[in-house]
Amino acid sequence: MLQRCLDLLAPALEGPEPVVVDCTLGLGGHSEALLERFPGIRLVALDRDKEALRLSGERLAPYGERANLVHAVYDELPEVLHRLGIARVQGVLFDLGVSSMQLDEADRGFAYAQDAPLDMRMDQTSGVSAAEVLNTYPPGELVRILRAYGEEKQAKRIVSAIVREREREPFSTSARLVELIRDALPQAAKRTGGNPAKRTFQALRIEVNGELAVLERAIPAAVKALDVGGRIAVLSYHSLEDRLVKQVFAAGAATTAPPGLPVVPERYQPRLKLLTRGAELPTEEEIAENRRAAPARLRGAQRIREDVE
């Protein structure tokens, strides 16, 4: 859905020296496409993964000072812009979730299809690993995480098995966890929804990286950073992310006036205009080309009014 993201942002990037923020740099594919299509932009790109910054830095080196790569989590956007002396931006792009690089590097522990250390940290220099979560969290907290972040209906059954196993030997690798989940689930639960470990791995990844809490702060901060006329595009990959984005955009596009006013004062007018009808889905061709695009959901919005205190 890269081209659709570029098309959504394009009308905001036609002015003099526009600034665009790629909040999820990864290997730099989206950033490179932005720099290539819009020769006048200045790019600010964020990532918490130092290896991603190194690799994308090599990829974007030909663009010189037009590309500013920053080691930061995307809810730190206001601080990053302040340090760079940027008051407002004209475009913001989020491509949420785990990057292809992180999935493909076995030793990161994100993928349930190959054995690896249970890490799952996007920034391997800080925070607790997935193994630490599995080995130290109370059973009730593990159940909550699997239900809330993985939407796992069999959370209690899986956690009971985890607690029994961790007392025998602490968890350290992904293959052991995948095998435990397969053994713990009833046959009916294993017949649908792909790999039965998928939801547990998603839940652990979100917990380890604080993804939903970060996103809950990041989307409003990004909207606030937009200049009037500026645009934001967000690609999410599961319902929890998409729901947060939808709520922020819907609130910004709604009037806050008390009911019954004959004329709505300026301070109650919407701040955003929605650019997508609901969430846009990838085409069959895009899914055929990249299976990881299948769950993608795209939402866009435009800043149409300043905040009025």
71 annotated binding-site participant: no
CA-wise closest residue to 66 among 93, 29, 26, 34: 34
Angle between helices 139-150 and 198-209 (to 10 degrees): 100
28 annotated binding-site participant: yes
102 annotated binding-site participant: yes
Q: Look at strands 19-22 and 89-95 and give their pairing.
A: parallel
Q: Which residues contact 79 (CB under 8 A, 6 or more apart)?
A: 72
Alpha-carbon distance of 244 to 221, in angstroms, equals: 13
Q: How far apart are the first and last CA of the chain?
A: 37
Instruction: List the alpha helices (DSSP H) in 169-252.
Output: 174-184, 187-190, 198-209, 211-225, 239-252
Alpha-carbon distance of 170 to 165, in angstroms, equals: 7
How many H-runs (helices) and E-runs (strands) does the chain carry? 14, 7
Alpha-carbon distance of 245 to 228, in angstroms, equals: 19
Tokens of 252: 């910004």
82 annotated binding-site participant: no
302 annotated binding-site participant: no
The annotated binding site is made up of: 28-30, 47, 74, 95, 102
Binding residues for S-adenosyl-L-methionine: 28-30, 47, 74, 95, 102
